[in-house]
Amino acid sequence: MLIKLLHLTLIFVLSSLEMLYAKDVIIKGKVLGDEGYLKGAHVKWHQSIVITDSTGSFTLKSSQNEGKIIITHLGYERHEQSLSITKPIIELGAIELKSNRIWSNSDVVVTATRTSKDMESVAQPVSVVSKKELAQSGSLRLNDILMEQVGITLTSDHGTGVQMQGMDADYSLILIDGQPVIGRTSGTLDLTRITVGNIKQIEIVKGPSSALWGSDALGGVINIITEKPKTGFTSVVSSRIGSYGSQDYSLETAYQNDKLSQSLFLNGNTSNGYKLNPNIVGNTVPEFLNYTAMYKGSATLTNRVELGLRARLYHENQENKGQIIENDAIRLLDERAKQYDYSLIPTLKINLNSTQKMEFIHNSTWFGNTSQINYADNGSVYSESPFNQRMHRSELQWDAFWNSQARTTSGLGYTYETLEADRYVSKPVFKSYFGFTQLDWDITSNVNITAGLRGDYHSEYSGELSPKFGLRYELKENLHIKMSIGNGFKAPEFRQLFLNFTNPTSGYSVFGTSTVEESVQELQERGELALVLIDASTLQAIQAERSFSINVGLDYSYKNRLRTKVNVFRNTINNLIDSQPIAIKTNNQSVYTYFNLNEIYTQGIEAELHWDVIPGVSLMSGYSYLQAMDQQVIDQINSGAVYRRNSSTNIDERVQLADYGGLFNRSRHSGTLRLFATSPDKHWETSIRLILRGRYGFMDKNNNQILDQDNEYEKGYTLTNISLANYPIKKLRVQLGVDNLFDFTRPNQLSFLPGRLYYIQLNYNFK
C-alpha cells in the first residue's frame, strides 16, 4: 500500500514538474463525437496525455514540435495526425472522431463505474431510460417509468418498490445524481416520492454494485440523473391533468455560461387518491398533495476549481379515512400523514492536473414522516407516530487517468445516521466509514477489465469487504461479451437492531437484536412470558446480508437497426435477516427478534431487443425468465421434511421438489413490448406499451408457508398504455394518453394500479 502510494505521489510530482518546464509549444483543439463535444477523449503527444473537458477542448504543452498526435475515446475509432509545429501556439480546430459503437446513439452512464462511461463499454448489465422515452410514456413519478422496464417488477409493501433480478425492494439502491435517497418503510423506498419531471436519464445497473456504492446495492442500482443546464436561459413549463383528480405542474428554469450554472425545478403533484375495494372504509391510495423543489448550481472559480450546491426539498400531505372496532362499536378515524425529505449537497471539484481530479461531496439529508390518526367523532388522538431519520455523509473521490488505457477511481467517506421514532427506546446512531478503489483498464483495443474493492466499517456490526471484477471482450465490432462477478451486501437496518415494538391491539412484540436480551428479561420479570423458545443471551450478533453474483451477457447489433442484449444472472444471498419467535407470551402472542436465517438464490435470463423498423419507428421488447428459491426449503424438501395439508380433506401430504414454486410474488415469465413512433415531419409522436407479467405466487393456502400448489398462484396479467402527442407549434407539445387501457385492477395486491387513467399534458419550452 505504502509503495503504491509513493509510486502515485511520484507520478503526480513528475507530471507536475513536466507541466512546469514544458512550455515550448502549445497545441489546442476541440474533439467532436456523435452528439457534439466529446468529453473525456485522450489526446496523446509524445509523453504527454490530456483529457478533453466538457466542451471537448484540450490544451497540450510540450517541448516536442514534431510527431504524431493520437486521440482515443471508448466507442470511437483512433484518430492519428502527424504534426510539424512551427508556431508557439497551434490551433487544430475541430477534430471529429468516427464512432465504432454497436449502438450509434449509445448513452453515457456513470452508475456502473462512478465515472462517465459509454453504456456499451461497461461490463455489468446496464440500461438507460432516456428523456424522450420518459416524455413519450407520459410518466410522472419514478414508479410509472420503472414499471415499463424489462426485468423490473413493482411491489406494494409500505410503499411502491422495485423487484430486480428477483430481489425485493429492500435490495436495491436508489440514487439521485449519485447520492442515496433515504427513508425506507419496512425496507421499501417509496418510488412515488420521486418526480421524473427534471430527469435527463435514468440509469439502471443490475446485479450487485456494493464494490462502488456500498450497502443495499444487491439487486441493482437505479440512478436518476437530473437535467443539466444548457447554454443561456432555458425554461420549460408543463402541466398535466388526469383521472382521479390528478394534477401535476412543473417549472424548470436554468441558466448557464462559461463560469456559472444555475437551475431550479419546481413540481406540484396532487390526486384525490383512489379506492379499489368498496368494502373497506377509506381509499386504497389516499388523497395527497406533494411538492418538490430542486436547485442545482455551480460556479467555476478558477480553471481548476468548481464549487457546486444541490438542494432538494420534498413534502407530502396525505389524508384518508379508516375505522376500528372498539367495545363492539365501529368508530371512524381520520388519518393524516405528512412526509418530508430535504437534502443539501455542497460539492467541490478540483482538477489537480489534466489527468487527475478530486471531488468532495457532502450530503445532509433529513427524512421523516408523521402519521396522526384521530377519532372522527370527537377529534381525540387515536395514535401518533413520528419517524425522523438524518444522514450526514462526506466523501472524497479521486479520479486518475494513468494513460489512455488505464484509469482509477478511488474514494473515502464517512456516514453518520440517526433515527428518532416512538418504536425505538433510545435514539440510535449509526457511524460508518468506507473506502473504495477501482481500476478500469483497456488491456488491448478489444479487452477491458474493471476490478474494484470497497471496505465498509460500521459501528454496530462487523465490517464488509466487497470485491468486484468485470470483463468485456469485443469479439467482433458488433458482438461484445460481458462478464461481471461481485459481492453485494445490505447492512442491518435500524429496526433490525433497535426496534422495541409491541402491537397495541393484538399484543405481539418485536425487538431488535441489540435490545432483545434486556427486553425479554423485562417481560420475564413482569411475568408476561409463558414459554421461552430460545434463550436471548445465546443469540449471535447479527450480520449484514451478503450476496455473491455472476452476470454474463452478450450485446449484438445487426446493421445498426437491430440491437439485442442478453444477460444471464445468478445471485446467491446469504444471511438473510428474518424475524422468528423466541418466546411465547402469556397472552398466547409471540415475541420476535431478527436472525440471519435463510439462504436464497435467484437466477434467470433477461433479453432485450431494440429494432428500428423504419426511421422514426422503434420496437422495443424484453423478456425475463426468473427463478427465485429458498435453499433451506429445497434442502428440507429433499430430506422429505416438508408437508402440506390437502385443503379438501385436511390430511397431510409430503411436498415434492417439483411442486416447489420458490419465493412468493415472483413471476417466472415477464416482459414488455413497446412501440414508439414519430411522424416524418416530427409533428406527431405515439406510443403503445404493453407490460406483461406471468403468474406469480400469492399466498400459502396449505399451511406450510411455502409456494407449492396451483391455487397459491395468481394469474398473470397484461397492462396496456398508449399515448399520442402533437406539436401544434414548435415550442408546445400536447400529449393525450391512457394508462391501463383495459382497466385491470387487483385491489388486494396491486395497490399501485388504479385502473384506467386518462390524462392530457402540455409542455411549453421557452427557449
Complex with another protein: residue 331 or 645, whichever CB lies closer: 645
CB of 593 to another protein, least distance (A): 14
CB of 649 to another protein, least distance (A): 8
CA 524/CA 129 separation, integer angstroms = 55
CB of 575 to another protein, least distance (A): 23
Complex with another protein: residue 65 or 748, whichever CB lies closer: 748
The three three-digit cell numbers of residue 315, written as one number:
413534502
Question: Whats the size of the chain, residue-wise?
Answer: 767
SS (H, E, C) 225-247: EECCCCCEEEEEEEEEEECCCEE
CA 539/CA 517 separation, integer angstroms = 9
Complex with another protein: residue 354 or 590, whichever CB lies closer: 590
SS (H, E, C) 497-508: HHEEEECCCCCC
- Identify the bridge partners of residue 487 per DSSP, sorted by sequence position: 548
Termini Cα distance of the chain: 52
Query: Is the CB of residue 269 less than 8 Å from the CB of residue 238?
Result: no
**Cβ neighbours of residue 592 closer than 8 Å, sequence gap 6 or more:** 508, 509, 510, 511, 579, 580, 581, 582
Complex with another protein: residue 144 or 714, whichever CB lies closer: 714
CB of 749 to another protein, least distance (A): 8
CA 282/CA 278 separation, integer angstroms = 9
Query: Is the CB of residue 152 less than 8 Å from the CB of residue 162?
Result: yes
Complex with another protein: residue 327 or 711, whichever CB lies closer: 711
Complex with another protein: residue 433 or 501, whichever CB lies closer: 501
CB of 751 to another protein, least distance (A): 12
CA 468/CA 452 separation, integer angstroms = 5
Determine how many CB atoms are found less than 10 A away from the CB of residue 766: 11
∠ CA 467-468-469, rounded to 5°: 135
Complex with another protein: residue 350 or 534, whichever CB lies closer: 534
CB of 515 to another protein, least distance (A): 22
Query: Is the CB of residue 746 less than 8 Å from the CB of residue 730?
Result: no
Instruction: Single out the residue of 731, 736, 764, 760 nearest to residue 237, CA to CA.
Output: 764
The three three-digit cell numbers of residue 374, written as one number:
384521530
Instruction: Single out the residue of 188, 172, 273 nearest to residue 223, CA to CA.
Output: 172
CA 745/CA 275 separation, integer angstroms = 11
CB of 588 to another protein, least distance (A): 6
Complex with another protein: residue 38 or 154, whichever CB lies closer: 154
Burial class of residue 32 (count of CB atoms within 10 Å of its CB; 0-12, 13-18, 19+): middle
The three three-digit cell numbers of residue 156, written as one number:
406494494
Complex with another protein: residue 508 or 727, whichever CB lies closer: 508
CB of 583 to another protein, least distance (A): 10
DSSP E strands, 301-380: 305-326, 329-353, 356-375
Burial class of residue 79 (count of CB atoms within 10 Å of its CB; 0-12, 13-18, 19+): middle
CB of 702 to another protein, least distance (A): 7
Catalog residues that contact another protein under the rule CB under 8 A: 503, 505-506, 508, 530-531, 533, 581, 584, 588-590, 641-645, 647-648, 650-654, 698-704, 711, 748
CA 331/CA 321 separation, integer angstroms = 11
Burial class of residue 102 (count of CB atoms within 10 Å of its CB; 0-12, 13-18, 19+): buried
CB of 632 to another protein, least distance (A): 15
Measured in whole angstroms, how far is the alpha carbon of residue 551 from the centre of its chain?
Answer: 18
Complex with another protein: residue 523 or 544, whichever CB lies closer: 523
Complex with another protein: residue 505 or 540, whichever CB lies closer: 505
Torsion angle defined by CA atoms of residues 272, 275, 280 and 285, in that order, rounded to the nearest 10 degrees: -60
CB of 709 to another protein, least distance (A): 9
Query: Is the CB of residue 490 less than 8 Å from the CB of residue 551?
Result: no
CB of 653 to another protein, least distance (A): 7
Complex with another protein: residue 266 or 642, whichever CB lies closer: 642
CB of 654 to another protein, least distance (A): 6
Complex with another protein: residue 444 or 588, whichever CB lies closer: 588
Instruction: Single out the residue of 608, 725, 719, 566 nearest to residue 132, CA to CA.
Output: 725
Complex with another protein: residue 548 or 698, whichever CB lies closer: 698
CB of 748 to another protein, least distance (A): 7
